[in-house]
Structure 1
Amino acid sequence: MTMMTTKMNQDADVTVVGAGPVGLVLAAELALSGATVQVIERRAEPDESMKAGAINVPTAEALDRRGLLPAAEQVQRELLERVGPFAPRADDRRTDGGREARGSRFTGHFAGMVLDADLVDASDPDLAAHTAVDGARMVPQRELEELLAGHVARLGVPVRRGVEVTAFEDTGDGVVVGTTAGPVRTGWLVGCDGGRSTVRRLAGIGFPGTDPELTGMMGTVDLDDPGKLADGWTWSARGAYRYGPQPGRVVTVEFTGAPADRSAPVTLEELQAGLRRVSGTDVTLTALRAAGSRWTDNARQAANYRSGRVFLAGDSAHVHSPFGGQGLNLGVGDAMNLGWKLGAVVAGWAAEGLLDTYDAERRPLGAWVLDWTRAQIGVMRGDAKSAALREVVADLLSTRAGTTYAVKKISGVAQRIDLPGDHPLIGRFVPDLWLTDGSRLVDHGHHGGFLLLDRTADGAFARLAAPWTGRVTGVTDDHATPTGVLVRPDGVVAWASDTTDATGLEAALRRWAGEPSPAPEPAG
C-alpha cells in the first residue's frame, strides 16, 4: 500500500501515533464508528524485522469480526506451504455440531517447553467454544500489518509515514500536536508508538516495572551445518537457543543484561557468535535472510493508560519479554477495547465516563501478562535452581491438565473481564455461536457496532433493544441456548440469558450503548 508522507494539513477527531498492528486496528475501529482518524508513523517504511510469529484466539477473532478471516486463513496456508515439515499439522478435522471445523495443532510453549498438542483436552468448554478461527492462528506480524494496512486503506484512513511527534498540548477540548511535518489539532491523541513511546514520555506517565536480565536475538539464516543444532528449544549454562519451527529461524537467549544498543540491527556475525556461545558448537551461519531483531525481558506497565485526552495502547502501555507470544495480542486487545469506546464518545452517544472503563478493563490483563512472562524467565536461567524448577514445570506440562491449562492461557480463550451479571458468558469473548442459517453470530457484525442475538419466539429482546437501532444490530434465530446474547463491538459479551427473561438487558444497553435514541415525531 502506498503511504502518504506529505505535510499534515487537516484536523481529525483522533490522531493515532504508530502504524504497527495496534495503531492500525485502533484506527480501523475508530473509522468504523464514524470518527475521522489519521495515523502518523515515524518510520518511512514498514518495519521488516522479525517479530511475533503467530496470533492468539482473541486476535484472530477480532479479524473474524471485521470480515478479515479469509485473508488471515490465506496467510496461514501460504506460511504452512513455506514451512513444510517444520510446521505442526493444521489439517486435522473434527466435527462440531454437524459442521466440519479445522482443528489446529498450534499450541505454543511455556519457557521454551513446547506444549504437546496430543495432551490438550479439546473437549474443554473454553477451547471447544472457540474453534472457528483455528485456520488463522499462524499469522506472522509482518503479514498481519500488511493485512491491516489494506483494511484501513479501504476505510479511507490516511497513514502518514516519516512523521515524528515532537510535542503536544492538551487544551482540555482537544490536543495540539507538534510534529516534524507541522502542527495538527486533534480531538484525542493515542500513543501506539512502542515501548520507548514518545507520547508516553511527553505525557509524563510513569512506567514502573522490573529491569532486564537477558538479551535475546532472532533471525532467519542459512547454515552450513544445521545438524549441529537441535530442533526446538535447548538450554545450557550460558543461556538457551531455539532452532525452527520455520527453516533457518534461530533465537538466542543470554542472561547478560540489556544490550548496549537495543535498536542496532542484528548482524550475521553477532547472531553466529551468540548461537555458538549458547549451543557450545562451532555452527556456521552463511547468510542472514530476514532482518533480525533483539529484545529483553524488561517488564513495565504504564502508571495510567490515560492522561486527559491522551491514551496509551500496546507496547506504549506495557512491555515484557516475547515468551508465550502475548505482546502483539495484548496490544490488539487494547485497540479493540479503546476503539469503539473512544468512537462512541466522539460520536456523542456515550458519556466521557465510558473511557474510564478502558484502563479498568485492560490493566488487569496487562499485569497478568507481565507476570506470565516473568515466570518463564524464572525457569529459563542457567543456574541449578532454575534448572530444577524447570524439571518440575516440565513434569506438570507433561500432564493433560497441565498442558490444557497452559494452552488456555496462551491462546487467550480463558480471558474474562469483570462485568455485572451471573451468566457464565458475561465478560468473556463471544463463542462460536452458529445460527440455523449456517452463519455465525459474528458474521453479522463486520461493520462494527453491537450485536444482539434474539432466540425468543416473539422477538422480545429485539423489541426491547429497538430504541438503540443504529448502534445495535439484532439477529434472530430459532430457539436454542443461549436464548439471548448482547455482544459489544470488541467481542465481549455484555449480557446473556438462557431463558426468555430480559432482566438486565436494558441496563446493559444503557451502560454500554448509551441512552436510547428519541422516538421519531409522528408524521403530520
Structure 2
Amino acid sequence: MHDVVIAGAGPVGLFLACELRLADLSVLVLEQAEDPHSPLKQLPFGMRGLSVPTIEAFYRRGLLDDLAASQHAKNALGRSSASTPHWMQLPRRSGGHFAGIQFYEDNIDTAKWPYRLQNPASAGMAIAMEDIESVLAVRASAMGVEIRRGCGVEGFEQSDDGVTIRAGNETFRGRWLVGCDGGRSIVRKAGGFEFVGTEPEFTGYSVEVEMADPDKLVPGRHYTPTGMYTYQPPGTVAMVDFDGGAFHRTQPITLEHVQSVLRHISGTDVTVTALKLAATWTDRAFQATAYRNGRVLLAGDAAHVHSPLGGQGLNLGFGDAMNLGWKLAATIRGDAPDGLLDSYYVERHPLGSQILDWSRAQVAIMRPSRSSRALEAIMRDLIETRDGATYFAERVWGVSLRYDLGGSHPLVGRSAPDFELVDGTKLGDHLRNGKGLLLDFDPVRPLQALAEHWVGRVVYLASDAKEKLGLSAVLLRPDGFIAWASDAVPDQAEVMQAASRWFKASSRSPAG
C-alpha cells in the first residue's frame, strides 16, 4: 500500500508528489495519458506566467535553477523559436494585464510592500508548460516517486484505513488519494464532490494558422463589436466568441470554422489557407464546495476551473500543492495537531473563490456591448494610475496573498521575506528540506529549547541578517509562510501557542 496515490501527472500532481517525498512518504502517480508531450504545452500556447508565490515555492525547494537551466538549454538548441509575445514588444515593460488591459512596471509602487525583500521571485517568470512538467517529472523520479503513465484512475472505493483505486486492468491501494486530474476530474466525480459555479458565456479559440492576407489583421489585442481577438504574426491567433460556449468540445475544429469565426470577430475578410493547430476553451467557472471527502482530496483544476485569462489557474494549483503537501504528510505520520488537514480547505478555498471572481470580472469587460466598452475605458484610466497599477500587480503577481493565521504582527500569514544571513546564505536556502523553521536573530537569548518541542519538524536557526526589518524572531511553516513573528524580545509562551496550530509537540522532552 502506498501512503498517497495521486491521480494526474500534470504540474500540480508532480509538485505535490515531490512535497510528499520530502517527508519520506511512498507516492504513486497515475496518469491517463501515455505521452506527456503535446503541442499545446509548447510555445506559444503553452506559455505560462508564474506568480510570486509559485516562484518562491520553486526557489525554496531548489527547483528554480532547474527551470532556468531547462529554458537555457532549449534556447541553445534553437527550440524556442516562437515569436516574442505582443505584450513583450511594448515600449514600456508590462507587469501583466487585466482582461487585456496592461499595467506597467514603472507605475508600480513597491514601497507599499515594506516586508518584501529582493529575491528570485521579484523578477517574475514566463515559461512553457512543457518545461515545467519536464523539470518536475525529473525531480519526482529522482526523489523516488513512482509514475505510471497510460494508467488513469477510473474509480475507487474508500474505507476507514485506505482507498482502493481502479486504473485500467489494475488495482492499487493507498492510504490517501489526491485528485490532481484536471477540470474533468474522475476523482472529483467518483468521490461525490459538489461542483458549483457559473456556465460559460463564450468559446475561446487558440489557433495557429497560415493566411493568404495576414496584413488584414492588426497585431496585438483588440476588442470588436462581436468579440475579442489577439494576433501575433505570422499566424498565432486567440479569439473569444460570445456564443455561450456552444462550440467547445462539441464538434471538430475545421479550417472553415476557424475562418468563419475569425472573420466574424475581426470584421475582415481574411482568408485562412492552412490550420496547423487549434484548441478551444471557455470561461466556465466552477469550484468544489469541499476539498476533502474522507481519505480523498482535491487540488488544482480538479478543485476549481475558470478561464485561462491572466494565467491564474496553474499558480492557484501550485499553491494548493504547497499548502496540502506538508499537512497531509504530518497527518499520515501521526504528528499533525488537531484540525491541521482541515486548514487546507479553510485557507485555499477562499483564494480559489477570489480567482474565479477575478476571472468573471474580466469576462464582464470583454463582452461585446456598449456598457462593457464604457467599463473598459474607466478601467484603463484606473490601471494607468500609480495606485491602480500597484493594486493590479498585488493581485496578479500574488504579492497580497495572506492567510488568516491569527496573531497581531502584520507579517503573520504572509510569505516570509528572503532574509540574507550573515554567512551569505538566504532564507530560501534553508527551506529545501520541507521542515518548519524557527529563525532567531538574537542568539544571546536563544530559543533553541523551544524548537525541540517539535523535533524533526522544526529546524532552529540562530543568525543575524543584513536586513531584519525590525524583527526579533520568526517561526515559519514548511511552506514558507510565517506562523508567528515578533519585533520585541520573544514571549516563549506566545511562540508555543502559535506553533501548536501547526506543529504537534514531540514526546521527546525539551533540552532546557
Q: TM-score, normalised by structure 2?
A: 0.90
1:391 aligned to 2:377? Answer: yes
SS at match of 1:64: helix
Paired residue for 1:4? none
The answer to whether 1:203 aligns with 2:157 is no
76 and 505 in structure 1: CA distance in 2 versus 1, 3 angstrom threshold: farther
Which moves more between the two structures, 156-165 or 119-128? Answer: 119-128
State how far apart, in whole Å, the 2-side matches of 1:502 and 1:304 are. Answer: 37
Residue 263 to residue 437, structure 1, CA distance change in 2 (3 Å):
farther
Deviation at 1:76, TM superposition (A): 5.5
The CA deviation string for residues 37-83 of structure 1, in whole angstroms up to 9 with x for no partner, is 11001111115223452111111111101101112234556679746
Quote the offset at 1:128 in angstroms: 4.8
C-alpha distance in 2, partners of 1:261/1:62? 34
CA distance in 2, matches of 1:440, 1:276: 54
What is the one-letter code of the residue matched to 2:178? V
Query: Paired residue for 1:518?
Result: 508
**Match for residue 308 of structure 2 among 301, 322, 325:** 322
Q: 1:186 to 1:484 in 2, by over 3 A?
A: same
Contact residue 70 and residue 135 of structure 2 kept, 8 A: no
Note if 1:133 corresponds to 2:121: yes
Displacement, 1:332?
0.7
Cα offset, 1:394, TM superposition: 1.2
Number of aligned residue pairs: 497
State which drifts further: 362-371 or 70-79.
70-79
**Matched residue SS, 1:29:** helix
Q: Which runs of 5+ in 1 are unaligned?
A: 1-10, 91-103
Corresponding residue of 1:22: 12
Structure 2 counterpart of 1:109? 97
Asked if structure 2 preserves the Cα contact closer than 8 Å seen for 1:113 and 1:233, the reply is no
Q: What's the CA shift for 1:158?
A: 1.1
Q: Which letter does structure 2 place at the counterpart of 1:426?
A: V
Gap change, CA 1:88 and 1:252, over 3 Å in 2: closer
Secondary structure, aligned partner of 1:139: strand
Aligned to 2:348: 362
Partner residue of 1:143?
Answer: 131
**Structure 1 range deviating more: 256-265 or 403-412:** 256-265
2:269 alignment partner in structure 1:
282
Matched-pair contact (CA < 8 Å) for 2:71–2:131:
no
Are 1:243 and 2:243 counterparts?
A: no
* Alpha-carbon shift at residue 501 of structure 1 (Å): 1.4
Partner of 1:59: 54
Deviates further, 177-186 or 304-313: 177-186
Deviation (angstroms), 1:489: 1.6
Asked if structure 2 preserves the Cα contact closer than 8 Å seen for 1:452 and 1:486, the reply is: yes
Look up the match of 1:8. none
1:181 Cα offset (Å): 3.4
Q: Select which of 158, 181, 188 maps to 1:193.
A: 181
Q: Which residue does the alignment assign to 1:307?
A: 293
> Could you tell me how far apart the structure 1 residues matched to 2:386 and 2:115 are?
14
State how far apart, in whole Å, the 2-side matches of 1:371 and 1:157 are: 35
* Change in CA separation of 1:386 and 1:47 when aligned onto 2, cut-off 3 Å: farther
Residue type of the partner of 1:39? V
Local SS of the residue matching 1:423: coil
* Whole-angstrom CA distance in 1 between matches of 2:47 and 2:500: 38
CA separation in 2, counterparts of 1:310 and 1:361?
18
1:263–1:499 Cα change, 3 Å: farther
Q: Does 1:502 align with 2:491?
A: yes
Q: Is the 8 A contact 1:57 1:412 kept in 2?
A: yes
User: Offset of 1:226 from its aligned partner?
Assistant: 4.1
Contact kept? 1:337, 1:358, Cα under 8 Å: yes
1:448 maps onto 2:434 in alignment: yes
- Report the CA distance shift for 1:55/1:106 in structure 2 as closer, same or farther (over 3 A): farther
Contact kept, 8 Å, 1:130 with 1:413, in 2: the verdict is: no
Contact 1:56 1:329 in 2 (8 A): yes
Of 461, 464, 477, the residue aligned with 1:488 is 477
1:287 Cα deviation (Å)? 5.2
Cα distance in 2 for residues equivalent to 1:267 and 1:509: 58
Using a 3 Å threshold, how does the CA distance of structure 1 residues 329 and 269 change in structure 2: closer, same or farther? farther
1:172 aligned partner: 160
> CA 1:239–1:502 in 2, change beyond 3 Å: closer, same or farther?
same
**What whole-Å deviation, never above 9, does each CA across 1:235-283 have from its counterpart, x for those lacking one?**
0111101124x97432111101114452877555544443332112233
Deviates more, 1:257-266 or 1:467-476: 257-266
* Structural mapping, 1:444-483, within 5 Å: 444-478=430-464, 480=468, 481-483=470-472
CA contact (8 A) 1:217 1:266 kept: no
- Which residue pairs with 2:242 in the alignment? 255
1:73 partner letter? A
Distance 1:270 1:59, change over 3 A: farther
Q: What is residue 38 of structure 1 aligned with on the other side?
A: 28
Where does residue 123 of structure 1 map in the other structure? 111
More deviation, 44-53/299-308? 44-53
In structure 2, stretches of 5+ residues that fail to align are: none
8 Å contact kept, 1:69–1:133: no
Which moves more between the two structures, 216-225 or 502-511? 216-225
**In structure 2, what is the Cα distance between the partners aligned to 1:469 and 1:350?**
13
Q: Judging changes above 3 Å, is the alpha-carbon distance between structure 1 residues 59 and 130 closer, same or farther for their aligned structure 2 residues? A: farther
Letter in 1 for 2:266: S
Superposition CA RMSD, Å? 2.6
Letter matched to residue 175 of structure 1:
V
Q: Relative to 1, partners in 2 of residues 1:127 and 1:478: Cα closer, same or farther, differing over 3 Å?
A: closer
Measured in 2, the distance between the counterparts of 1:192 and 1:486 equals 30
- 8 Å contact kept, 1:86–1:247: no
Alpha-carbon distance in structure 2 between the residues aligned to 1:238 and 1:428: 43
Report if aligned partners of 2:94, 2:102 keep a CA contact under 8 Å in 1.
no
Change over 3 Å in CA distance of 1:455–1:304 after alignment to 2: same
**Counterpart code for 1:494:** A
User: Structure 1 residues 464 and 520 mapped into 2: Cα distance closer, same or farther (>3 Å)?
Assistant: closer
Structure 1: distance between partners of 2:114 and 2:280: 34
Partner deviation per Cα, 1:307-328 (whole Å, 9 max, x = no partner): 0000011111111111121100
| TM-score, normalising length: structure 1 | 0.88
Equivalent position SS for 2:127: coil
Q: Distance in 2 between matches of 1:59 and 1:89?
A: 21
Identity %: 45
Answer with 502-511 or 387-396: which moved more: 502-511
